[in-house]
Structure 1
Amino acid sequence: MATNDNVYRLQGLSCMNCAAKFEKNIRAISTVEDAQVNFGALKLTVKGDATIAQLEKAGAFDGIKVLSENEPPPENTTPFWRKRESITTIISLFFIIAGYVLYFQLEPKSPFTIGTFALAIIIGGYDLFKVGLKNLVKLDFDMKTLMTIAIIGAAIIGEWGEGAIVVFLFALSEALESFSINKARKSIRTLINIAPRKAMIKRGNSVEELNVEDIRINDIMILKPGEKAAMDGEIIKGESSLNQATITGESIPVHKTFGDEVFAGTINQEGYLEVRVTKRVEDTTLSKIIHLVEEAQAERAPSQQFVDKFAKYYTPAIMAIALLVAILPPIVVGASWTEWIYLGLAVLVVGCPCALVISTPVAIVTAIGNAARNGILIKGGIHLEETGRLNAIAFDKTGTLTEGTPEVTDIVPTEPYSEADILSLAHAIEAYSQHPLASAIIKKAKLVEGKKVNAENFQSITGKGAKAVINGKEVYIGNSVLFEEIGSLPRESKQRISSLQAEGKTVMILGTSNEVYGIIAVADQIRKSSFSIIDQLFKLGIQKTIMLTGDNKTTAVAIGNQLGLSETRADLLPEDKLTTIKSLQQKYGKVAMVGDGVNDAPALASANVGIAMGGAGTDTALETANIALMADDLEKLPYTISLSRKALHVIKQNIAFSLGLKIIALLLVIPGWLTLWLAIIADVGATLLVVLNSMRLMRAGERSSIENNV
């Protein structure tokens, strides 16, 4: 029998190891088929049946509270230094200092000295021992079990002072880890709390405030100046500027009027608006973004998969090494049992894989959360890492490198006609056409004052142009093929047409069967930002930039040359783009495809990283691409590459820090220099380095700081 996935939010989950243990305990419930804990987003997905009481019992070892998915956990506003674990850590430090004062003033073995150190151990290590001793009884060897064994062992051999220092430094590292993870999670909490939970809804003649869960599609939402939209919808009355920074990352307000789309979480800055609700609260663009970001944080990145596999064998290996260090020298060469048991305990402490376990997820959670705040949706750690390894980027042309809307660029009249005459005549014919080039002529004609001309008997000529009767004459507008067929294309016109086409422009001719009135050139304008963006990508280490387009080769090459692209491939159908991406992967390795997420879907899916433009409100872009630039703006692309490269560097540095410090500490066993406090400093030092290094990614909102560091 099929079972549904039940999703819950969590409160109190303190560490990655605790998440793994919690997951394991839930899977042990007989009615549960599977469970997955998303540590970054504090979410739990359970396949099967389990009550909240059963789930909280499974997490009782860490004081985990389980809430329904629609009940976000309250934000803990208690300052870091006022939290209980921080206070007990400080008290523990106070007793350690007092203990060492007594250590030097009285006998080291004095009951007062030992008692003071024992108080430091009990106060600072209460939570540690509570879990560690339970695990020890069950022979469940995690980090807290190893630490508990080491501290009890230190007390047994009389090293009370060092045991107290180990407790304090371990508590400090746990507090710092919790602090850094909470800072990273704040990105998601910020997104969750963006949209209001209530809205003013107009039904008939009455207006009432409703919870978003009670709002239905086609309800009318009232938006006054300064208010946030609670739902997605379409404006049916009024006009205003809306700040869409929460969705697109762009702080410049966008003017919207009748028929325009409004996103939940955006701010109405000026006028009064009535908005017809088009989506339920769980289907809004903001809800999709939050869901995708949370899922992204749960996905195991390649680096994390490596660390998880490594840690699986690493911990048992460290325990075996610690045991051998403790017993082999006394048995083989008659060395001091106390000295080598002490060294064995130190190996146990230094071997705690705390820093290694958090080395990747802290960086991933931080980078993905901050990217979301900047209008960039990265759908998983694997995509973040793949983006950091890109060698080449392929671009769709229309709507990506160009504006996507053709504009009239040149009007070349022949004697005795003027530009205004040409536009008036062309407008009269194209007013009946639905072709995109026709809209460009109509738009241009409205900006130029000319006499009004009426056309009759309009007829479209498929693939070539159109014709109509104006003032009793049959007037044509179309391409050179059409005019060569009717026999009215003089030599000088052909030369001018060739010149304009070489510039990447589409040329239309206006005239009769025996006379050319003039030439109109239309082109899809290159985005002004495209020039600097291509330059930035080369500076970031992207070796090749390639344009893939269905447009003709002449136009494509002209645009590619203007932008300074490495390569241009034209006349491509969607399936051709897919084939081209595969050939580029064989040639350059890691390749990204940037497109609009609709006709580029096959190429986006086959690239190592698919990057969709204009993800805001575009379901196809959100579903197909690995990364969605929520604003229809390429300027986010260099920032995304830069952030990903930075995150990849940080992950590699974290793994190197966590393993390197431990290897150095373990080598100190050979001359017998490793002490318990040195071991814990190596462990805490690695954790602290990993945390602080990952927190550098929190500056992701400052584009320049990322770009300057790559």
Structure 2
Amino acid sequence: MAHNHNHSHEHTHEHQGGDLNKTKIIQLIFGILLFGAGLVLKKAFPNAAAYQLAAFGLSYLILGGEVVIQALKNISRGQIFDENFLMSVATIGAFAIGDFPEGVAVMLFYQVGEYFQDAAVRKSKKSITSLMDIRPDYANLKRGGSTEKVDPDKVNIGDIIIIRPGEKVPLDGSVIEGESMMDTSALTGESVPRSVKAGETVLAGCINQSGVLTVEVSREFGQSTVAKIIDLVENASSKKAPSENFITTFSRYYTPAVVGLALLLAVVPPLFLGGSWAEWINRGLIFLVISCPCALVISIPLGFFGGIGAASKRGILIKGSNYLEALNNLDTVVFDKTGTLTKGVFAVRNLLPAGETTKAQLLEYAAKAESFSNHPIARSIMKEYDGEISREALQDYKEISGHGIRVTADGSVILAGNDKLMKRENIAFQPNNEIGTKVYLAVNGIFAGSIVIADEIKSDSRAAISRLKAAGVRKTVMLTGDNVQIAESVAKELDLDEVHAQLLPDQKVEQVETLNAGKPAKGKLAFVGDGINDAPVLARADIGIAMGGLGSDAAIEAADVVLMTDEPSKLADAITIARKTKRIVWQNIAFALGVKGIILLFGAFGVATMWEAVFADVGVSLIAILNAMRVLQTKN
């Protein structure tokens, strides 16, 4: 996913990691050293104007050359009055009247602000390399009595392919022979494998875990589920409208106004009031130097940088100031379920023994049956049992595909599996209606009870939803690939406003599109997810938020905000920081413009000299910087 962080000065960040930072640091160091050398020369050798000009001129070219070039490019495109133009004219004007330090200082402040902004974004979001891990490398195409490995692009609709255990499903299709357990986590985010058999559909990107499947291809690779995910991530970002920075709108009016006033101040008085042309031209240039929006250029990016820094101290990585600003207008928050609101780790929630069986005996029977399996359900039972199982005492172990397990332990035949296993073995059992995955057990043909396995809700998920609503979020929604019963149970427990279940990634995007159409014009929609399957919808949302601790690399790359601690309540913290940042930025804007207005009047009437203007400008900038840093002290 590629977001362009276009600032008001139309400088596009192309974050390329360490190389860009090193270049920027070297540029700043050389610029500062030459600036310092110029100041020393000015102090020690006041009459050596040529040497001073050389030092300040080189410093200016290093620090401000790109701004002047950008201003010229904008002029060539008909975009004359922007802050690049104003800074260029003001600083060149400062050089023209012999005030070299002011011209360089403005550009130095600008570059420092740019460096802080660049440092806040650690990685480019153009890379979706991690997502490509789900792209299948080959398909086993059946031809006659043999199979041949071919590129998935070479397989046509109606062709027969073979999918062996451990292989990725290369194309969407229908199973015509075989049974297996399918890992669908890459598409649905659910860690519990699903059983498939003849007549059922399999999707590209899933992983075959057990049996051999013979599949008839129903879609070409370009139309497959996995291809759609990759395409959505690559193209969804183009639907995002970039946040318009205040300084851009302001400069459309401010810049031509002050340039026009400076020109009038330099020309009109000598023509109609008399006086020295040199004096009024000098006064006009002073007016132009005073008007340079140095404090604004510094305080706005530094204010947002302070907010980004405050967020990072709390484990919240915000990949750009436009996303921090957008959090102020959050109207709808859409959550994935597994790994986002729930832990994504299955655990035994309830033991329901039957007859004379005790809970301890029921758990022991289940542990014996599941001791050979690495299935998430089996691992959760073994973790709950936390005892030693002698595998040597277990005999005749058999996994019944799509049903469960049969094993003999100490002369007793133990059956553990789903309700289909109980029906297949003609065992009278008590159906379990609790929410979660159920494991039914029978010993020697007699029902022993059932165990409920469920994904646990994160401890702070309830607090997260409550705090978001208190912060003014109008709607909270959950989208999940899980079944309807489990999804509705989680939504009810967390007091979510809306829930949509059994969704594939492209269906999640469709739901986000619908929700996006129903929100207020200025409202923003955020999606919070953690899996590789969430990457497309993360890219489509106004603000994509990924769980960073356990989340996939692709989700983190596609997201605009990353919650590094995997706590959904951190989103409420991010909103608090965003709102404080906005207040501070607007305080700086009002303060800078107020002081500028007063000093501009003094400059127009000849009261303010160049040195007073420089002092006032630098003072405003320093105060704005100190105020911007207050956001770092934001408390939860």
Q: TM-score, normalised by structure 1?
A: 0.55
In structure 1, distance between residues paired with 2:634 and 2:567: 19
Q: Is 2:615 the counterpart of 1:706?
A: no
The letter for the 1-side match of 2:497 is S
List gaps (5 residues or longer) in structure 1.
1-15, 24-35, 46-65, 96-115, 156-165, 190-299, 700-704
In structure 2, distance between residues paired with 1:641 and 1:372: 13
Cα pair distance change 1:302/1:122, threshold 3 Å: farther
Partner of 2:368: 428
Partner of 1:326: 266
Shift of 1:640: 3.5
Shift of 1:533: 3.2
Cα pair distance change 1:529/1:471, threshold 3 Å: same
Q: Is 2:444 the counterpart of 1:510?
A: no
Partner of 1:477: 416
Cα pair distance change 1:612/1:151, threshold 3 Å: closer
Asked whether the equivalents of residues 116 and 302 of structure 2 are also in contact (C-alpha less than 8 Å), the reply is no
Shift of 1:525: 1.5
Asked whether the equivalents of residues 363 and 385 of structure 2 are also in contact (C-alpha less than 8 Å), the reply is yes
Cα pair distance change 1:120/1:563, threshold 3 Å: farther
In structure 2, distance between residues paired with 1:694 and 1:414: 65
Asked whether the equivalents of residues 173 and 688 of structure 1 are also in contact (C-alpha less than 8 Å), the reply is no
In structure 2, distance between residues paired with 1:123 and 1:650: 42
Asked whether the equivalents of residues 356 and 658 of structure 1 are also in contact (C-alpha less than 8 Å), the reply is yes
1:627 to 561, 583, 606: 561
Shift of 1:350: 2.6
Asked whether the equivalents of residues 94 and 103 of structure 2 are also in contact (C-alpha less than 8 Å), the reply is no
Partner of 1:437: 377
Deviations 1:85-142 (A, max 9, x none): 67987999x99xxxxxxxxxxxxxxxxxxxx9x889999999667878999xx99976
Partner of 1:458: 398
Shift of 1:635: 5.5
Deviations 1:208-239 (A, max 9, x none): xxxxxxxxxxxxxxxxxxxxxxxxxxxxxxxx
Partner of 1:586: 517
Q: Is 2:357 the counterpart of 1:417?
A: yes
List gaps (5 residues or longer) in structure 2.
1-6, 73-84, 123-240
Shift of 1:654: 4.1
In structure 2, distance between residues paired with 1:558 and 1:384: 33
Asked whether the equivalents of residues 117 and 301 of structure 2 are also in contact (C-alpha less than 8 Å), the reply is no
Asked whether the equivalents of residues 396 and 549 of structure 1 are also in contact (C-alpha less than 8 Å), the reply is yes
Deviations 1:303-361 (A, max 9, x none): 45x63576477545423321113332453566887886565344323321323333443
Partner of 2:288: 348
In structure 2, distance between residues paired with 1:682 and 1:662: 9
Asked whether the equivalents of residues 547 and 566 of structure 2 are also in contact (C-alpha less than 8 Å), the reply is yes
In structure 1, distance between residues paired with 2:542 and 2:116: 30
Partner of 1:544: 475
In structure 2, distance between residues paired with 1:74 and 1:178: 9
Asked whether the equivalents of residues 530 and 551 of structure 2 are also in contact (C-alpha less than 8 Å), the reply is no
The letter for the 2-side match of 1:378 is I
The letter for the 2-side match of 1:430 is E
In structure 2, distance between residues paired with 1:633 and 1:350: 47
The letter for the 1-side match of 2:560 is N
Asked whether the equivalents of residues 188 and 369 of structure 1 are also in contact (C-alpha less than 8 Å), the reply is no
2:498 to 567, 570, 573: 567
1:302 to 228, 243, 251: 243
Instruction: Note the 1:13-162 alignment, pairs <5 A.
Output: 73=26, 143=87, 146=90, 149=93
Q: Please give the root-mean-square deviation of Cα atoms over the aligned residues, in Å.
A: 5.2
Cα pair distance change 1:535/1:450, threshold 3 Å: farther
Farther off after superposition, 588-597 or 529-538? 529-538
Shift of 1:407: 0.9
Cα pair distance change 1:607/1:451, threshold 3 Å: same
In structure 2, distance between residues paired with 1:335 and 1:76: 44
In structure 2, distance between residues paired with 1:354 and 1:387: 27
Shift of 1:674: 6.2
Cα pair distance change 1:87/1:179, threshold 3 Å: farther
Partner of 1:599: 533
Q: Is 2:545 the counterpart of 1:611?
A: yes
Shift of 1:440: 1.5
The letter for the 2-side match of 1:478 is G
Q: Secondary structure at the match of 1:400?
A: coil
In structure 1, distance between residues paired with 2:406 and 2:550: 40
In structure 1, distance between residues paired with 2:276 and 2:635: 56
Shift of 1:519: 2.0
Q: Secondary structure at the match of 1:398?
A: coil
Q: Secondary structure at the match of 1:551?
A: coil
Equivalent pairs counted in the alignment come to 492
Cα pair distance change 1:407/1:151, threshold 3 Å: closer
Deviations 1:385-426 (A, max 9, x none): 334432222222212222211111221222321222212222
Q: Secondary structure at the match of 2:626?
A: helix
Q: Secondary structure at the match of 1:620?
A: helix
RCO comparison, higher one (Cα < 8 Å, 6+): 2
Farther off after superposition, 359-368 or 331-340? 331-340
Shift of 1:639: 3.6
In structure 1, distance between residues paired with 2:496 and 2:388: 36
Q: Is 2:340 the counterpart of 1:400?
A: yes
Q: Is 2:447 the counterpart of 1:528?
A: no
Cα pair distance change 1:327/1:457, threshold 3 Å: closer
Cα pair distance change 1:144/1:553, threshold 3 Å: closer
Cα pair distance change 1:44/1:403, threshold 3 Å: closer
Q: Secondary structure at the match of 2:555?
A: helix
Partner of 1:30: none
In structure 2, distance between residues paired with 1:514 and 1:618: 44
